[in-house]
Amino acid sequence: MTQSEARRIGLCCENIDKRYGGLYALRRVSLEIAPGECVALAGRNGSGKTTLLRIAAQLVRPSAGKLTFSPAQTEPASATKNTGFVAHATMVYDELTAEENLLLFARLLEIPEPAKRAELLLRDVGLFERRDSLVRTFSRGMRQRVAIARALLHEPAVLLLDEPGTGLDPQGVTWLAETLWRLHGAGSTIVMSLHGESEISALATRGIRLDAGAVVADTRTGASLRSILTFANA
Amino acid sequence: MSLLSNTTVLLGKELRTEFRSRELLTTTVVFILMVVVLFSFTFDPTREESRRFGPGLLWLAFLFAASLMLQPGFLREQTNDTLSALRLSVSDSFAIFLSKLCANALFLLITELLMLPIFAVLYNVPLLGVVPQLALVLFLGSLGLSVTGTTLSAISAQARMRELLLPLLLLPLLTPLLIASTEATAALFAEEPVLRWDWLAFLIAFDIIFLTAVWLFGEYLLEE
Protein backbone atom coordinates (compact mmCIF):
# COMPACT_ATOMS: atom_id res chain seq x y z
CA MET A 1 0.00 0.00 0.00
CA THR A 2 1.43 3.38 -1.02
CA GLN A 3 1.55 6.33 1.38
CA SER A 4 -1.24 8.14 -0.46
CA GLU A 5 -3.42 5.02 -0.37
CA ALA A 6 -2.78 4.71 3.37
CA ARG A 7 -3.92 8.31 3.81
CA ARG A 8 -7.12 7.96 1.77
CA ILE A 9 -10.15 8.92 3.81
CA GLY A 10 -13.82 9.03 2.82
CA LEU A 11 -16.76 10.68 4.58
CA CYS A 12 -20.18 9.36 5.45
CA CYS A 13 -23.02 11.59 6.68
CA GLU A 14 -25.98 9.72 8.09
CA ASN A 15 -29.25 11.63 8.50
CA ILE A 16 -27.50 14.79 9.62
CA ASP A 17 -29.58 17.66 10.96
CA LYS A 18 -28.20 20.97 12.06
CA ARG A 19 -30.48 23.43 13.83
CA TYR A 20 -29.69 26.94 14.98
CA GLY A 21 -32.54 27.62 17.37
CA GLY A 22 -35.65 26.76 15.39
CA LEU A 23 -33.95 27.17 12.01
CA TYR A 24 -32.76 24.11 10.12
CA ALA A 25 -29.42 24.70 8.36
CA LEU A 26 -29.31 21.03 7.33
CA ARG A 27 -32.17 18.57 7.21
CA ARG A 28 -31.64 14.79 7.12
CA VAL A 29 -28.55 14.93 4.92
CA SER A 30 -27.20 11.50 4.03
CA LEU A 31 -24.15 11.28 1.81
CA GLU A 32 -21.33 8.90 1.24
CA ILE A 33 -18.19 10.38 -0.25
CA ALA A 34 -15.68 7.75 -1.25
CA PRO A 35 -11.95 8.18 -0.61
CA GLY A 36 -10.38 10.09 -3.49
CA GLU A 37 -13.64 11.52 -4.79
CA CYS A 38 -13.85 15.17 -5.90
CA VAL A 39 -17.25 16.61 -5.03
CA ALA A 40 -18.66 20.02 -5.88
CA LEU A 41 -21.40 21.37 -3.60
CA ALA A 42 -23.77 23.81 -5.24
CA GLY A 43 -26.76 25.76 -4.04
CA ARG A 44 -28.03 29.21 -3.26
CA ASN A 45 -26.74 31.33 -0.38
CA GLY A 46 -28.04 29.83 2.86
CA SER A 47 -28.65 26.39 1.34
CA GLY A 48 -26.37 24.72 3.92
CA LYS A 49 -23.09 24.26 2.00
CA THR A 50 -20.91 25.98 4.59
CA THR A 51 -22.60 24.18 7.49
CA LEU A 52 -22.09 20.82 5.77
CA LEU A 53 -18.40 21.58 5.20
CA ARG A 54 -17.92 22.67 8.82
CA ILE A 55 -19.59 19.49 10.05
CA ALA A 56 -17.36 17.45 7.73
CA ALA A 57 -14.34 19.24 9.25
CA GLN A 58 -15.69 18.37 12.74
CA LEU A 59 -15.74 22.03 13.65
CA VAL A 60 -19.50 21.93 14.22
CA ARG A 61 -21.37 19.12 15.93
CA PRO A 62 -24.55 18.00 14.14
CA SER A 63 -27.84 18.35 16.06
CA ALA A 64 -28.81 14.85 14.94
CA GLY A 65 -27.30 12.10 12.83
CA LYS A 66 -23.65 11.20 12.64
CA LEU A 67 -20.50 11.69 10.65
CA THR A 68 -18.21 8.71 10.14
CA PHE A 69 -15.09 8.11 8.11
CA SER A 70 -13.91 5.36 5.84
CA PRO A 71 -11.98 3.10 6.06
CA ALA A 72 -13.87 2.02 9.19
CA GLN A 73 -10.80 2.10 11.43
CA THR A 74 -10.27 5.85 10.81
CA GLU A 75 -10.54 7.68 14.13
CA PRO A 76 -12.27 11.11 14.09
CA ALA A 77 -9.14 12.68 15.63
CA SER A 78 -6.97 11.21 12.89
CA ALA A 79 -9.41 12.47 10.25
CA THR A 80 -9.24 15.96 11.75
CA LYS A 81 -5.45 16.02 11.58
CA ASN A 82 -5.67 14.89 7.96
CA THR A 83 -8.18 17.54 6.95
CA GLY A 84 -7.35 20.80 5.23
CA PHE A 85 -10.04 23.46 5.35
CA VAL A 86 -10.36 26.69 3.41
CA ALA A 87 -13.24 28.71 4.81
CA HIS A 88 -14.87 32.06 4.03
CA ALA A 89 -12.60 33.64 6.64
CA THR A 90 -8.90 33.35 5.95
CA MET A 91 -8.09 31.41 9.15
CA VAL A 92 -4.67 33.10 9.38
CA TYR A 93 -3.35 35.76 11.74
CA ASP A 94 -3.28 39.33 10.44
CA GLU A 95 -0.61 40.25 13.00
CA LEU A 96 1.84 37.60 11.79
CA THR A 97 3.76 37.57 8.55
CA ALA A 98 2.88 35.11 5.79
CA GLU A 99 5.89 32.99 6.71
CA GLU A 100 5.20 33.12 10.46
CA ASN A 101 1.62 31.96 9.82
CA LEU A 102 2.72 28.97 7.78
CA LEU A 103 5.50 28.08 10.23
CA LEU A 104 3.06 28.26 13.15
CA PHE A 105 0.60 25.83 11.59
CA ALA A 106 3.36 23.60 10.18
CA ARG A 107 4.80 23.22 13.68
CA LEU A 108 1.38 22.50 15.19
CA LEU A 109 0.82 19.85 12.52
CA GLU A 110 4.27 18.46 13.35
CA ILE A 111 5.39 18.59 9.74
CA PRO A 112 9.05 17.59 9.34
CA GLU A 113 11.24 20.51 8.26
CA PRO A 114 8.48 23.13 8.63
CA ALA A 115 10.65 25.97 7.30
CA LYS A 116 11.28 24.14 4.01
CA ARG A 117 7.60 23.28 3.61
CA ALA A 118 6.57 26.88 4.33
CA GLU A 119 9.10 28.20 1.83
CA LEU A 120 7.93 25.75 -0.85
CA LEU A 121 4.30 26.76 -0.41
CA LEU A 122 5.11 30.47 -0.33
CA ARG A 123 6.91 30.07 -3.65
CA ASP A 124 3.96 28.03 -4.98
CA VAL A 125 1.41 30.71 -4.11
CA GLY A 126 3.66 33.49 -5.38
CA LEU A 127 4.18 35.19 -2.04
CA PHE A 128 7.80 34.32 -1.33
CA GLU A 129 8.95 37.88 -1.99
CA ARG A 130 6.37 39.13 0.53
CA ARG A 131 7.01 36.41 3.12
CA ASP A 132 8.12 38.94 5.76
CA SER A 133 5.09 41.22 5.33
CA LEU A 134 2.29 41.16 7.87
CA VAL A 135 -0.82 39.49 6.47
CA ARG A 136 -2.88 42.56 7.40
CA THR A 137 -1.02 44.48 4.70
CA PHE A 138 -2.14 41.98 2.02
CA SER A 139 -4.99 42.32 -0.47
CA ARG A 140 -7.96 39.92 -0.24
CA GLY A 141 -6.54 37.75 -2.99
CA MET A 142 -3.13 37.52 -1.32
CA ARG A 143 -4.76 36.59 1.98
CA GLN A 144 -6.69 33.87 0.20
CA ARG A 145 -3.42 32.50 -1.19
CA VAL A 146 -1.98 32.33 2.33
CA ALA A 147 -5.21 30.66 3.50
CA ILE A 148 -4.93 28.01 0.77
CA ALA A 149 -1.23 27.49 1.50
CA ARG A 150 -2.09 26.93 5.18
CA ALA A 151 -4.69 24.32 4.29
CA LEU A 152 -2.23 22.50 2.02
CA LEU A 153 0.67 22.42 4.50
CA HIS A 154 0.23 18.76 5.41
CA GLU A 155 -1.01 17.62 1.97
CA PRO A 156 -4.28 16.58 3.58
CA ALA A 157 -6.14 13.38 2.82
CA VAL A 158 -9.41 15.36 2.94
CA LEU A 159 -9.58 18.86 1.55
CA LEU A 160 -12.69 20.94 2.26
CA LEU A 161 -12.95 24.20 0.38
CA ASP A 162 -15.64 26.83 0.85
CA GLU A 163 -15.64 28.99 -2.26
CA PRO A 164 -11.87 28.74 -2.62
CA GLY A 165 -11.64 31.04 -5.63
CA THR A 166 -12.82 34.07 -3.61
CA GLY A 167 -10.56 37.03 -4.28
CA LEU A 168 -8.15 35.11 -6.51
CA ASP A 169 -7.05 36.59 -9.83
CA PRO A 170 -7.16 34.38 -12.98
CA GLN A 171 -3.57 33.20 -12.42
CA GLY A 172 -4.47 32.31 -8.84
CA VAL A 173 -7.49 30.32 -9.98
CA THR A 174 -5.35 28.44 -12.51
CA TRP A 175 -2.74 27.68 -9.86
CA LEU A 176 -5.43 26.46 -7.48
CA ALA A 177 -7.02 24.25 -10.14
CA GLU A 178 -3.61 22.71 -10.95
CA THR A 179 -2.87 22.14 -7.28
CA LEU A 180 -6.23 20.48 -6.73
CA TRP A 181 -5.67 18.28 -9.80
CA ARG A 182 -2.36 17.14 -8.29
CA LEU A 183 -3.89 16.43 -4.88
CA HIS A 184 -6.83 14.63 -6.44
CA GLY A 185 -4.41 12.55 -8.48
CA ALA A 186 -2.53 11.69 -5.28
CA GLY A 187 -5.73 10.33 -3.76
CA SER A 188 -7.00 13.22 -1.64
CA THR A 189 -10.74 13.50 -1.14
CA ILE A 190 -11.91 16.96 -2.16
CA VAL A 191 -15.23 18.56 -1.25
CA MET A 192 -15.73 22.13 -2.39
CA SER A 193 -18.58 24.58 -2.46
CA LEU A 194 -18.63 26.63 -5.64
CA HIS A 195 -20.56 29.45 -7.19
CA GLY A 196 -20.84 28.92 -10.92
CA GLU A 197 -18.64 26.96 -13.29
CA SER A 198 -14.93 27.66 -13.41
CA GLU A 199 -11.59 25.96 -13.94
CA ILE A 200 -11.93 24.60 -10.43
CA SER A 201 -15.37 23.09 -10.97
CA ALA A 202 -14.02 21.18 -13.99
CA LEU A 203 -12.24 18.94 -11.45
CA ALA A 204 -15.46 17.70 -9.92
CA THR A 205 -16.42 14.11 -10.58
CA ARG A 206 -19.64 14.47 -8.64
CA GLY A 207 -22.04 17.33 -8.04
CA ILE A 208 -24.37 17.70 -5.09
CA ARG A 209 -26.99 20.38 -4.96
CA LEU A 210 -28.44 21.61 -1.69
CA ASP A 211 -31.60 23.58 -1.21
CA ALA A 212 -32.93 24.74 2.16
CA GLY A 213 -30.56 22.36 3.94
CA ALA A 214 -31.56 19.24 2.00
CA VAL A 215 -29.86 17.37 -0.84
CA VAL A 216 -32.01 17.87 -3.94
CA ALA A 217 -29.65 16.52 -6.59
CA ASP A 218 -26.63 14.21 -6.55
CA THR A 219 -25.05 13.14 -9.81
CA ARG A 220 -21.86 11.82 -11.37
CA THR A 221 -22.96 11.92 -14.99
CA GLY A 222 -21.48 14.57 -17.29
CA ALA A 223 -24.49 16.58 -18.46
CA SER A 224 -26.29 16.59 -15.10
CA LEU A 225 -23.05 17.42 -13.33
CA ARG A 226 -22.38 20.42 -15.59
CA SER A 227 -25.97 21.52 -15.14
CA ILE A 228 -25.67 21.48 -11.33
CA LEU A 229 -22.45 23.47 -11.49
CA THR A 230 -23.61 25.89 -14.16
CA PHE A 231 -26.77 26.75 -12.30
CA ALA A 232 -25.13 26.73 -8.90
CA ASN A 233 -26.71 29.99 -7.94
CA ALA A 234 -30.01 29.55 -9.66
CA MET B 1 4.38 15.30 24.40
CA SER B 2 2.17 16.80 21.68
CA LEU B 3 0.33 18.83 24.31
CA LEU B 4 3.60 20.33 25.52
CA SER B 5 5.00 21.05 22.06
CA ASN B 6 1.68 22.46 20.78
CA THR B 7 1.40 24.66 23.88
CA THR B 8 4.96 25.93 23.46
CA VAL B 9 4.39 26.80 19.80
CA LEU B 10 1.11 28.57 20.58
CA LEU B 11 2.57 30.41 23.56
CA GLY B 12 5.31 31.67 21.24
CA LYS B 13 2.60 32.98 18.92
CA GLU B 14 0.76 34.71 21.79
CA LEU B 15 3.95 36.41 23.00
CA ARG B 16 5.01 37.42 19.51
CA THR B 17 1.67 39.04 18.64
CA GLU B 18 1.44 40.81 22.00
CA PHE B 19 4.99 42.12 22.07
CA ARG B 20 4.50 43.27 18.47
CA SER B 21 1.31 45.23 19.20
CA ARG B 22 1.67 45.76 23.00
CA GLU B 23 -2.08 46.35 23.10
CA LEU B 24 -2.90 44.32 26.20
CA LEU B 25 0.12 45.22 28.29
CA THR B 26 -0.10 48.95 27.57
CA THR B 27 -3.82 49.12 28.31
CA THR B 28 -3.55 47.16 31.52
CA VAL B 29 -0.50 48.95 32.90
CA VAL B 30 -2.07 52.36 32.21
CA PHE B 31 -5.34 51.25 33.82
CA ILE B 32 -3.71 49.98 37.03
CA LEU B 33 -1.43 53.01 37.18
CA MET B 34 -4.45 55.31 37.00
CA VAL B 35 -6.33 53.42 39.72
CA VAL B 36 -3.35 53.38 42.09
CA VAL B 37 -2.40 57.03 41.49
CA LEU B 38 -5.95 58.40 41.63
CA PHE B 39 -6.70 56.50 44.81
CA SER B 40 -3.56 57.85 46.49
CA PHE B 41 -4.53 61.43 45.48
CA THR B 42 -8.13 61.20 46.66
CA PHE B 43 -7.55 59.24 49.82
CA ASP B 44 -4.01 60.27 50.86
CA PRO B 45 -3.60 57.27 53.19
CA THR B 46 -1.26 57.15 56.17
CA ARG B 47 1.25 54.31 56.39
CA GLU B 48 -1.03 52.39 58.76
CA GLU B 49 -4.04 52.87 56.47
CA SER B 50 -1.98 51.74 53.50
CA ARG B 51 -1.11 48.52 55.31
CA ARG B 52 -4.81 47.92 56.02
CA PHE B 53 -6.41 48.97 52.76
CA GLY B 54 -3.50 48.66 50.30
CA PRO B 55 -3.78 44.89 49.68
CA GLY B 56 -7.49 45.13 48.89
CA LEU B 57 -6.95 48.09 46.58
CA LEU B 58 -4.08 46.33 44.86
CA TRP B 59 -6.00 43.11 44.20
CA LEU B 60 -9.14 44.95 43.10
CA ALA B 61 -7.02 46.88 40.60
CA PHE B 62 -5.46 43.60 39.40
CA LEU B 63 -8.92 42.04 39.11
CA PHE B 64 -10.37 44.87 37.01
CA ALA B 65 -7.22 44.99 34.91
CA ALA B 66 -7.45 41.25 34.36
CA SER B 67 -11.03 41.55 33.17
CA LEU B 68 -9.79 44.10 30.60
CA MET B 69 -6.83 41.97 29.61
CA LEU B 70 -8.64 38.64 29.33
CA GLN B 71 -11.48 39.83 27.11
CA PRO B 72 -9.60 39.87 23.79
CA GLY B 73 -7.95 36.46 24.28
CA PHE B 74 -10.51 34.41 22.38
CA LEU B 75 -12.18 37.34 20.61
CA ARG B 76 -9.01 37.80 18.54
CA GLU B 77 -9.31 34.19 17.40
CA GLN B 78 -12.76 34.91 15.98
CA THR B 79 -11.70 37.76 13.72
CA ASN B 80 -10.43 35.46 10.96
CA ASP B 81 -11.80 32.20 12.38
CA THR B 82 -8.27 31.25 13.43
CA LEU B 83 -9.70 29.24 16.32
CA SER B 84 -11.05 26.74 13.76
CA ALA B 85 -7.63 26.55 12.10
CA LEU B 86 -6.05 25.86 15.50
CA ARG B 87 -8.64 23.18 16.32
CA LEU B 88 -7.84 21.43 13.05
CA SER B 89 -4.09 21.61 13.69
CA VAL B 90 -3.45 20.72 17.33
CA SER B 91 -3.39 17.17 18.64
CA ASP B 92 -5.03 18.18 21.92
CA SER B 93 -7.31 21.22 21.96
CA PHE B 94 -6.36 21.80 25.63
CA ALA B 95 -3.09 23.18 24.20
CA ILE B 96 -5.03 26.16 22.80
CA PHE B 97 -6.45 26.94 26.22
CA LEU B 98 -3.19 26.24 28.05
CA SER B 99 -1.18 28.59 25.83
CA LYS B 100 -3.68 31.41 26.38
CA LEU B 101 -3.68 30.73 30.11
CA CYS B 102 0.13 30.86 30.29
CA ALA B 103 0.24 34.04 28.20
CA ASN B 104 -2.44 35.76 30.31
CA ALA B 105 -0.76 34.77 33.58
CA LEU B 106 2.58 36.02 32.27
CA PHE B 107 1.16 39.37 31.09
CA LEU B 108 -0.66 39.81 34.39
CA LEU B 109 2.50 39.07 36.37
CA ILE B 110 4.53 41.51 34.27
CA THR B 111 1.90 44.19 34.93
CA GLU B 112 1.89 43.46 38.65
CA LEU B 113 5.68 43.52 38.91
CA LEU B 114 5.75 46.88 37.10
CA MET B 115 3.12 48.29 39.46
CA LEU B 116 4.52 47.11 42.78
CA PRO B 117 7.40 49.62 43.08
CA ILE B 118 5.02 52.47 42.19
CA PHE B 119 2.55 51.24 44.79
CA ALA B 120 5.29 50.94 47.41
CA VAL B 121 6.42 54.54 46.82
CA LEU B 122 2.95 56.13 46.61
CA TYR B 123 1.58 54.28 49.65
CA ASN B 124 4.78 54.21 51.67
CA VAL B 125 4.68 50.43 52.13
CA PRO B 126 8.13 48.81 52.45
CA LEU B 127 8.16 45.68 50.27
CA LEU B 128 11.86 44.92 49.90
CA GLY B 129 11.94 42.44 52.80
CA VAL B 130 9.04 40.36 51.49
CA VAL B 131 9.70 40.23 47.76
CA PRO B 132 10.00 36.39 47.43
CA GLN B 133 6.89 35.76 49.57
CA LEU B 134 4.94 38.46 47.74
CA ALA B 135 6.01 36.98 44.39
CA LEU B 136 4.60 33.62 45.49
CA VAL B 137 1.24 35.18 46.47
CA LEU B 138 1.11 37.17 43.23
CA PHE B 139 1.92 34.06 41.21
CA LEU B 140 -0.78 31.92 42.82
CA GLY B 141 -3.35 34.72 42.69
CA SER B 142 -2.57 35.60 39.09
CA LEU B 143 -2.72 31.94 38.07
CA GLY B 144 -6.20 31.63 39.59
CA LEU B 145 -7.29 34.87 37.91
CA SER B 146 -5.97 33.65 34.58
CA VAL B 147 -7.48 30.15 34.78
CA THR B 148 -10.99 31.39 35.54
CA GLY B 149 -10.66 34.46 33.33
CA THR B 150 -9.39 32.54 30.31
CA THR B 151 -12.19 29.98 30.71
CA LEU B 152 -14.87 32.65 30.91
CA SER B 153 -13.26 34.54 28.04
CA ALA B 154 -13.69 31.40 25.88
CA ILE B 155 -17.34 31.15 26.95
CA SER B 156 -18.21 34.81 26.59
CA ALA B 157 -16.45 35.21 23.20
CA GLN B 158 -19.24 33.23 21.55
CA ALA B 159 -22.05 35.13 23.26
CA ARG B 160 -23.88 38.31 22.49
CA MET B 161 -23.19 41.18 24.95
CA ARG B 162 -19.75 39.60 25.39
CA GLU B 163 -18.12 42.80 26.69
CA LEU B 164 -20.53 42.84 29.64
CA LEU B 165 -20.71 39.12 30.14
CA LEU B 166 -17.08 38.51 31.08
CA PRO B 167 -16.92 40.92 34.06
CA LEU B 168 -20.41 39.86 35.16
CA LEU B 169 -19.35 36.22 35.32
CA LEU B 170 -15.79 36.82 36.43
CA LEU B 171 -16.19 39.10 39.43
CA PRO B 172 -18.52 36.89 41.54
CA LEU B 173 -16.57 33.75 40.69
CA LEU B 174 -13.31 35.33 41.76
CA THR B 175 -14.55 36.61 45.11
CA PRO B 176 -13.00 33.69 47.08
CA LEU B 177 -9.71 34.16 45.24
CA LEU B 178 -9.80 37.90 45.88
CA ILE B 179 -10.33 37.35 49.63
CA ALA B 180 -7.53 34.78 49.87
CA SER B 181 -5.06 36.87 47.86
CA THR B 182 -5.88 40.03 49.80
CA GLU B 183 -5.51 38.28 53.18
CA ALA B 184 -2.22 36.68 52.17
CA THR B 185 -0.91 40.04 50.89
CA ALA B 186 -2.15 41.90 54.00
CA ALA B 187 -0.19 39.49 56.21
CA LEU B 188 2.94 40.36 54.23
CA PHE B 189 2.28 44.12 54.52
CA ALA B 190 1.93 43.90 58.30
CA GLU B 191 4.45 45.46 60.74
CA GLU B 192 5.81 41.96 61.28
CA PRO B 193 5.32 40.23 57.92
CA VAL B 194 4.22 36.62 57.91
CA LEU B 195 3.47 34.17 55.10
CA ARG B 196 -0.04 32.83 55.74
CA TRP B 197 0.09 29.21 54.60
CA ASP B 198 -3.66 28.72 55.18
CA TRP B 199 -4.49 31.33 52.53
CA LEU B 200 -1.74 30.03 50.26
CA ALA B 201 -3.21 26.52 50.54
CA PHE B 202 -6.59 27.97 49.60
CA LEU B 203 -5.09 29.64 46.52
CA ILE B 204 -3.30 26.44 45.48
CA ALA B 205 -6.53 24.44 45.88
CA PHE B 206 -8.48 27.05 43.88
CA ASP B 207 -5.92 26.91 41.06
CA ILE B 208 -5.82 23.10 40.96
CA ILE B 209 -9.61 22.65 41.04
CA PHE B 210 -10.28 25.14 38.24
CA LEU B 211 -7.38 23.92 36.11
CA THR B 212 -8.54 20.31 36.45
CA ALA B 213 -12.12 21.26 35.55
CA VAL B 214 -10.94 23.09 32.46
CA TRP B 215 -8.68 20.19 31.48
CA LEU B 216 -11.66 17.81 31.73
CA PHE B 217 -14.28 19.97 30.03
CA GLY B 218 -12.20 22.50 28.09
CA GLU B 219 -12.81 20.76 24.75
CA TYR B 220 -16.47 21.80 24.87
CA LEU B 221 -15.53 25.45 25.51
CA LEU B 222 -13.92 25.71 22.10
CA GLU B 223 -16.76 24.17 20.12
CA GLU B 224 -19.06 26.30 18.03
- A120-138 confidence digits (pLDDT tens): 999 999 999 999 999 999 9
Cβ pair B21:A89 closer than 8 A: no
> How does the average pLDDT of chain B come out, rounded?
89
Helix (H) / strand (E) element for A44: namely: none
3-state secondary structure chain B: CHHHHHHHHHHHHHHHHHHHHCHHHHHHHHHHHHHHHHHHHHHCCCHHHHHHHHHHHHHHHHHHHHHHHHCHHHHHHHHCCHHHHHHHHCCCCHHHHHHHHHHHHHHHHHHHHHHHHHHHHHCCCCCHHHHHHHHHHHHHHHHHHHHHHHHHHHHHCCCCCHHHHHHHHHHHHCHHHHHHHHHHHHHHHCCCCCCCHHHHHHHHHHHHHHHHHHHHHHHHHCCC
Mean pLDDT (whole number) for A76-92: 88
pLDDT, residue A1, reads 39
Least confident piece of the model among A150-154, A193-197, B191-195:
A193-197
Instruction: Give the closest-approach CA distance of A11 to chain B in angstroms.
Output: 16
**pLDDT category of residue A3 using cuts at 50, 70 and 90:** very low
Mutation site, B10, B82, B158, interface A, largest A CB count within 10 A: B82
Cα A87 from Cα A150, distance rounded (Å):
11
**CB-CB: which of A77, A93, A108 is closest to B89?**
A108
Selection from B36-50, B121-135, B149-163, B194-208 with the highest mean pLDDT: B194-208
Cβ pair A104:B13 closer than 8 A: yes
Cβ pair B84:A107 closer than 8 A: no
Query: Could you tell me if B46 lies within 8 Å of chain A, comparing CB atoms?
Result: no
Chain B contact set for A105 (CB, 8 A):
85, 89
Chain B contact set for A96 (CB, 8 A):
13, 16-17
Judge whether residue A231 has pLDDT over 70.
no
Judge whether residue A229 has pLDDT over 80.
no
- In the DSSP assignment, the letter for residue A97 is B
Mean pLDDT (whole number) for B104-118: 92
Chain B residue at shortest CA distance from A95: B17
- 3-state secondary structure at position A142: helix
**pLDDT category of residue B79 using cuts at 50, 70 and 90:** confident
Cβ pair B81:A89 closer than 8 A: yes
Cβ pair A60:B224 closer than 8 A: yes
> How does the average pLDDT of chain A come out, rounded?
88
Mean pLDDT (whole number) for B135-139: 95
- 3-state secondary structure at position A112: coil
Least confident piece of the model among A15-19, B18-22, B44-48, B130-134:
B44-48
Between B164 and A224, name the one with better pLDDT. Answer: B164
Please state, for a pLDDT cut of 90, what percent of chain A lies above it.
59
**CB-CB: which of B9, B20, B87 is closest to A104?**
B9
Query: Could you tell me if B81 lies within 8 Å of chain A, comparing CB atoms?
Result: yes
pLDDT, residue B106, reads 94
Query: What is the ipTM, given to two decimal places?
Result: 0.89
pLDDT, residue B192, reads 87
Cα B50 from Cα A215, distance rounded (Å):
70
- A49-69 confidence digits (pLDDT tens): 999 999 999 999 999 999 988
- Between chain A and chain B, the number of residue pairs with CB atoms below 8 A apart is 69
Chain A residue at shortest CA distance from B19: A95
Mean pLDDT (whole number) for A140-151: 94
